[in-house]
Amino acid sequence: MCACTDRLSGLIGGGACKQAPCAGSTVIAAVPVQAKDQAAKGVVSGAGGVAGGPGGWTLGLQVGGFAMEGNSLSIIVGRAVRGSLLRISLGLRRLAELFRSTQELIAVLQRPKLLVTPVVWVQPVTKLGQRQMTLTSSLWDGTATIQGVRFSASCSPEGFDLPVHVTLLAEFRGKPRAIARVDINGQRHENRHKVCGSLQFSDAGVTHFHDTSLHADIEIAQLLGGSLGDLPIARPIGDMPEDFSKAMEKCGELLHIGNLTEIEEPQWQPRQFPF
């Protein structure tokens, strides 16, 4: 990596770099970025000419283009060295969280949303120990895809009377985390944790809703950090239909997703009983 970013302030405005490996090059772009929000991750082909310096400074020599993929910005830069132009891909990955409070997660839940369709069930690979069919989708608001938010569903291939999980996910610390979930015919949930407040020790039953709004008094880092388990508070659902399509409609009402009925009912397989 080039050491010239230690003297970046003296290079802005066309100053010549005197440090190896970019000695003699002219600095034509010096972009300040906040260290807490972004970090540079370089993949260099040939000699370097771009570096992340102290305080989050990023130095570019000859900008040749850029591309956006997900939350990452890739900038293509180049520098003439002995008559040849070297290309460097510099990825700027946003480190600042998309969601900073539990109230923002509640807003995600309550925001009207739609699946990006079509969606298909993926069969489990039994030799890898998988037992559940899964389905995932991005979500959109009718105009654009909602950044950092996804939908997930899972169920047994053997029937709707076995556990089904319908989940709203949001990105937190670089990983998808459940922020709301409907459990149908799942494990009994008894709200044992003290953060459950007035619902502590109440029985939510085997079909229940882990409503984001029930977690409003829990800080986001505590809620999604793992110390409380996976969404510790749930309320019972007493009117979940037994018909798959109607159940998806009910889940859509709870998660504010308008087209969950477009999820096709899986082709259930014959129940296998151990002998």
Contacts of residue 128, defined as CB under 8 A and 6 or more positions apart, other chains included, come to none
Per the prediction, the chain carries an average pLDDT of: 75
**8 A C-beta contact, residue 29 and residue 11:** no
pLDDT tens-digit readout, 137-177: 999 998 999 999 999 999 999 999 999 999 999 999 999 99
Q: Which residue has the higher pLDDT, 219 or 73?
A: 219
pLDDT for the residue 214: 98
**pLDDT tens per residue, range 48-97:** 333 343 333 333 333 344 443 444 444 434 443 343 433 433 333 444 68
The confidence band for 242, taking pLDDT boundaries of 50, 70 and 90, is: very high
User: How many angstroms separate the CA atoms of 133 and 120, rounded?
Assistant: 10
Q: Which two tokens stand for residue 93?
A: 């990955």
Q: Could you read off the pLDDT of 168-193 as tens digits, one per residue?
A: 999 999 999 999 999 999 999 999 99
pLDDT of residue 66: 41
pLDDT for the residue 273: 62
- d(CA 254, CA 151) in angstroms, rounded, equals 13
Res 216 pLDDT > 90: yes
Domain boundaries, the chain: 3-94, 102-262
pLDDT for 121: 97
Model pLDDT, residue 183: 98
pLDDT digits (tens, 9 = 90+) for 16-30: 444 444 444 433 333
pLDDT of residue 271: 75
Task: Name the 3-class secondary structure at 68.
Answer: strand
Strand partners, 176: 171
Residue 270 is predicted with a pLDDT of 82
